[in-house]
Chains A and B, each alone.
Chain A
Amino acid sequence: SQELEQSPQSLIVQEGKNLTINCTSSKTLYGLYWYKQKYGEGLIFLMMLQKGGEEKSHEKITAKLDEKKQQSSLHITASQPSHAGIYLCGAASGDGNKLVFGAGTILRVKS
């Protein structure tokens, strides 16, 4: 079965600093999703990447998909306290019928 490993597990950054979260798959990625979750809330969809080399941006968040490395990265520029939360990557399972998720990366932003 497909497994997703996220790194780091958690990080604390100073407000205004940049950061990167990685998601590595044990199998070929056919689609990669990034979600954000705040404590006690549901998952907020951030971006979906489907093609090798694809890169998408939304406000200060940029995500890239590198199919060769079976990896995706999420980069936040000039972090703000509003960026704090848990970032989860998800990928379509081998049968394509559901998403499997990484364990998540906890981000704290110090102001």
Chain B
Amino acid sequence: GAGVSQSPSNKVTEKGKDVELRCDPISGHTALYWYRQSLGQGLEFLIYFQGNSAPDKSGLPSDRFSAERTGGSVSTLTIQRTQQEDSAVYLCASSLGITGNTIYFGEGSWLTVV
């Protein structure tokens, strides 16, 4: 596609429910990143993919968070048993490669846990 596409754009969920956030990167981009931005906070790295593999999962805050990428394209970030502190904007980004390439961001998925 023309840009990084994320869905849903907004999600309100009850505490304890599972949520899935989807990211469709720019066509041909092999690297895909997930970041989280909480209210008043900076961007927090979660995980990145090179192709379908995730060499760096160091930013995932707990084992309730997981992500996968299939076919070297679409990625899904899953949050199980959501907590109120999970409320944030989840941003996906993609680039041609992992080094020295411009990284383009999507519009983000706003998650509110009530």
Contact = CB atoms under 8 A, between A and B. Distances in A.
B68 interface: no
Interface string A41-66: 11111001010000000000000000
Nearest to B93: A43
A97 B98 contact: yes
Interface in A92-111: 92, 95-104
A43 B55 contact: no
Interface in B15-41: 33, 41
Interface residues of A, number: 24
Interface in B28-75: 33, 41-43, 45, 48, 55-56
Contacts of A90: 43, 103
Interface of A: 31, 33, 35, 40-45, 48, 50, 88, 90, 92, 95-104
B42 A98 contact: no
A96 B98 contact: yes
B43 A88 contact: yes
Interface residues on B, range: 20 to 34
Contacts of A50: 100
B105 A48 contact: no
Contacts of A45: 102-105
A92 B48 CA distance: 13
Contacts of A97: 48, 55-56, 98-99
B42 A42 contact: no
15 contacts: A31-B100, A33-B103, A35-B105, A41-B107, A42-B107, A42-B108, A43-B105, A44-B105, A45-B104, A88-B42, A97-B48, A97-B56, A98-B48, A99-B33, A100-B45
A48 B95 CA distance: 13
A-B interface, 5 closest residue pairs, ranked by CB to CB distance from nearest: A43-B105, A101-B43, A42-B107, A103-B42, A42-B105
